[in-house]
Amino acid sequence: MLDSMDSKNLSEYRKKLEARKETLLAEMKSHNIPGSFGNDVDGSSEKTDQAEEEGNSQAIAESLREDVNEIDSAIEKIQRGTYGVCEQCGASIETDVLAAAPESALCHSCKKK
């Protein structure tokens, strides 16, 4: 864990993570509802539009699920006392990286690789 990380900092990161998770879950819920083109999908362009919209919604929902999983992992690390340690090299994750993205699992150097 970061040497400069105290319980107040951890609490702030946790609050940010939990707030972001709630936002993502609400967004996921909105994307899981398929678009409605009504029951009169007659033309091939309407069918294509509907399939494209459903595909886009599924891709967005999957991306949001991945973000939620990263947040859950970061919260678990806070609970285990390993938050702020790079998963790749074991170094401390810089505070500016965590401030920008508290779910970060990698330090700046490893992100660049």
- The residue-averaged pLDDT of 85-91 equals 96
- The residue-averaged pLDDT of 90-109 equals 95
pLDDT tens for 4-51 read 578 889 999 999 999 999 999 888 887 765 444 445 555 566 667 777
Domains of the chain: which residue ranges?
A: 7-112
Q: What is the amino acid identity at position 47?
A: K
- 7-112 CATH fold: Four Helix Bundle (Hemerythrin (Met), subunit A) (1.20.120)
Buried b (16+ CB within 10 A) or exposed e, 70-90: bbeebbebbeeeebbbbeeee
Count the neighbouring beta carbons within 10 Å of the beta carbon of residue 29.
Answer: 11
| DSSP reduced 3-state for 85 | strand
pTM (two decimals) = 0.75
